Amino acid sequence: MITLNNITKTYGKEKTMAVDDISFSVNKGEIFGLIGPDGAGKSSIFRMLTTLLVPDSGTAVVNGFDVVKDYKQIRNSIGYMPGRFSLYQDLTIEENLNFFATVFNTTVEENYHLIKDIYIQIEPFKNRRAGKLSGGMKQKLALCCALIHKPEVLFLDEPTTGVDVVSRKEFWDMLKNLKKMGLTIMVSTPYMDEAALCDRIALIQLGKILSINTPEKLVAGYGETLYTVTGGNMYQLLNLLRSYAPTESCFAFGDSLHLTLKKGTSKQIATAFLEQQGFNKVIIQETTPGIEDCFIKLLKSN
Amino acid sequence: METVISTDKLTKRFGDFIAAHELSFEVGKGEIFGFLGANGAGKTTAMRMLCGLLMPSSGKASVAGFDVYTETEKIKRNIGYMSQKFSLYEDLTVAENIRFYAGIYGLSFSDIKRKTDELLSKLGMQGEAKKLVSALPLGWKQKLAFSVSLVHEPRIVFLDEPTGGVDPVTRRQFWDLIYYAANSGVTVFVTTHYMDEAEYCDRVSIMVDGVIAALDSPGNLKKQMNAPDMEDVFYQLARKAKRSE
């Protein structure tokens, strides 16, 4: 459904690298996640695929159309929700929706079935201006506006950034429903926990792809024994373990530390060391790595 | 433990709308206090009152020993503030930003020079002193903004979603700085949407619809709500919310 071949994009006279020779493809009906921090190149990739930006080199195809030659056809067959809100702040909910439908030569009625489940949640406020809506409501309206012309591919650039946990969960439930309707969805996020909800993910950093895989296979390929450390002052434990020579890596992870050890050091040896240093209640246990552990490891090895 | 923030039924009304309703809590010296809530729960209103930027409607509060009604200028001198949205001037250099903020807070020239050297070496940014802030990676900007917010040695620092948009390693390096500051006695009052960061706080308050729905250590909150993690605690409380911004 989406294919990128050696896409490169630089900005300005200094040729600042934004996207560095990236190739990947997204299958029909897939939720594909671009996971990475600000400045990784996520938005540039979105803008090239939505025909708003021309690549320096390389080719890309969306829904069978070339992003440079066939940009008009692409624009009709995709929905795009940019990172900064795309809504007209001084139009109401209803006016925004009608506007986007009209621009694409359709009506709200014609494709209402696509947005119904989402729209009924904000319909009670349909006469409220978009500028006066909460983050969660804006997000729902923007999604409706991106869907109203019945696109085949949906591009969502950081739809959940700065939104609270409850709204984020609701948003991902909506995406799952859209996937069931057959849409292909490419979504970016800085939240690693959302990566696990995608069919496949690309981890990107500084314009390069570190890894493309299913979340399950990415985690399965971690390749080291990962431990959690609990039972003591976390800040002191963190500092101590970082200065401990057999430590490969040690990071805070919620209510525990995540630790990997160099070859030849067992958790018993590490526990004994910590006890010797006065941490008598410390527990080191093996654990399954998450996406965030994988990302940290990939960042270190690059 | 010495108390540095104390509120008693602190309330803010906008017309009929009660943005923050009877907030009562205390924060101790050197504590990392997580201030969470759904979008629109009233966090920003509460923070603005505590920073001396918004006059409360009723209730009492003191911050760093000063009254939020009558001593707002003294509060401002004794707190630091950093938000992801705005903190540094992009078209000033790193050293100019430090000099600017230190100057605003009334540090002497010799102190400014000493602080600048100290801060740059602590961050390992000596080579960047003359670079424009706009040329720095986001993670460096955040670390610099945090250090600048401490340049006048405030007793409390307010961090409003300080870590958005950076990679997992940079985000943790930022928390190293928070721990370091708290360890040296600075009280850290922080909002975040990352629930793993809520776990790093000594205590966490969760606002729902203008009131504090829960306040305790992450460990106790998880026990009380029978939740595996803080994300679940937050979800259980915030999904009951009726209002949004």
Q: Measuring CA to CA, which residue among B21, B149, B14, B7 is closest to residue B68?
A: B7
Q: Which CATH number fits the domain that encloses residue A215?
A: 3.40.50.300
Which residues does chain A have within 8 Å of residue B238's beta carbon, measured at their own beta carbons? 164-166
Are B164 and A162 within 8 A, CB to CB?
A: yes
Residue of A135, A166, A253 lying closest to B196 (CB–CB): A253
Which run of H or E residues covers position B196? helix B195-199
Q: What is the pLDDT of residue B227?
A: 94
List B18's β-bridge partners, or say none: B13
pLDDT above 80 (res A112): yes
Are A37 and B139 within 8 A, CB to CB?
A: yes
Does residue A173 share a domain with residue A225? no
Domain that holds residue A296: 221-301
Does residue A128 share a domain with residue A263? no
Are B39 and A136 within 8 A, CB to CB?
A: yes
How distant is the Cα of A294 from the closest Cα of chain B, in angstroms? 10
Summarised one tens digit per residue, pLDDT across range A217-258 is 999 999 899 999 998 888 889 999 999 999 999 998 888 999
Are A134 and B39 within 8 A, CB to CB?
A: yes
Judged on CB neighbours under 10 Å (0-12, 13-18, 19+), A27 is: exposed
Are B167 and A299 within 8 A, CB to CB?
A: yes
Q: What is the pLDDT of residue B86?
A: 67
Q: Measuring CA to CA, which residue among A30, A23, A61, A39 is closest to residue A214?
A: A30
Percent pLDDT > 90 in chain A is: 76
Q: What is the pTM of this model?
A: 0.84
Does residue A210 share a domain with residue A162? yes
Q: Which CATH number fits the domain that encloses residue A260?
A: 3.30.70.2070
Q: What is the pLDDT of residue A157?
A: 93
Task: Tell which of A204, A219, A234 closes a domain.
Answer: A219
Q: What is the pLDDT along chain B (245 residues), one digit of tens a residue?
A: 799 999 999 999 999 999 999 999 999 999 999 999 987 889 989 999 999 999 999 999 999 999 999 999 999 999 999 987 768 999 999 999 999 999 999 999 999 999 999 999 999 999 999 999 998 888 889 999 999 999 999 999 999 988 877 888 888 889 989 999 999 999 999 998 888 899 999 999 999 999 999 999 999 999 999 999 999 999 999 888 776 55
Cα separation, A234 vs B240, whole angstroms: 32
pLDDT above 90 (res A75): yes
Split at pLDDT 50, 70, 90, the class of A26 is: very high
Radius of gyration of chain A from its Cα atoms, rounded to whole angstroms:
23
Give the tokens for residue B208.
Answer: 């729902």
Does residue A170 share a domain with residue A30? yes
Are B235 and A169 within 8 A, CB to CB?
A: yes
Q: CA dist B173 to A236, B94, B128, Å?
A: 15, 19, 18
Are A166 and B239 within 8 A, CB to CB?
A: yes
Q: What is the pLDDT of residue A185?
A: 97
Task: Tell which of A199, A219, A239 closes a domain.
Answer: A219
Does residue A225 share a domain with residue A215? no
Cα separation, B237 vs B76, whole angstroms: 32
- What residue type is assigned to position A132 of the chain? K
DSSP A141: H
Does residue A226 share a domain with residue A215? no
Does residue A130 share a domain with residue A42? yes
Q: What is the pLDDT of residue B88?
A: 92
How distant is the Cα of A178 from the closest Cα of chain B, in angstroms? 23
Cα separation, B245 vs B236, whole angstroms: 19
CATH superfamily of B3-78+154-238: P-loop containing nucleotide triphosphate hydrolases (3.40.50.300)
DSSP A214-249: -HHHHHHT--S-EEEEESS-HHHHHHHHHHSTTEEE
B205 and B35 Cβ atoms separated by less than 8 Å: yes
Are B231 and A165 within 8 A, CB to CB?
A: yes
Does residue A236 share a domain with residue A206? no
Does residue A213 share a domain with residue A231? no
Mean pLDDT of the A180-184 span: 93
How distant is the Cα of A134 from the closest Cα of chain B, in angstroms? 5
Residues 6+ apart with CB under 8 A from B54: B12, B45, B48
Which residues does chain B have within 8 Å of residue A191's beta carbon, measured at their own beta carbons? 194
How distant is the Cα of A162 from the closest Cα of chain B, in angstroms? 7
Query: Residues of chain A whose C-beta is under 8 A from some C-beta in B?
Result: 36-40, 133-137, 161-167, 169, 190-193, 205, 234-235, 238, 251-255, 292, 295-296, 299-300
Mean pLDDT of the A108-130 span: 92
Q: What is the pLDDT of residue B35?
A: 96
Are B245 and A134 within 8 A, CB to CB?
A: yes
A208 and A48 Cβ atoms separated by less than 8 Å: no
Domain boundaries, chain B: 3-78+154-238, 90-153
Query: Domain count of chain A?
Result: 2
Cα separation, B154 vs A49, whole angstroms: 48
Does residue A188 share a domain with residue A60? yes
Does residue A256 share a domain with residue A180? no
Positive or negative: CA dihedral A12, A15, A18, A23: positive
Which residues does chain B have within 8 Å of residue A167's beta carbon, measured at their own beta carbons? 38-39
Are B200 and A252 within 8 A, CB to CB?
A: yes
Summarised one tens digit per residue, pLDDT across range A163-181 is 888 888 889 999 999 999 9
ipTM: 0.78
Judged on CB neighbours under 10 Å (0-12, 13-18, 19+), B219 is: exposed
Does residue A66 share a domain with residue A8? yes
Cα separation, A133 vs B106, whole angstroms: 40
> Residues 42..81 of B with a Cβ closer than 8 Å to A: which?
none
Positive or negative: CA dihedral B89, B95, B98, B99: negative
Are B138 and A37 within 8 A, CB to CB?
A: yes
How distant is the Cα of B199 from the closest Cα of chain A, in angstroms? 5
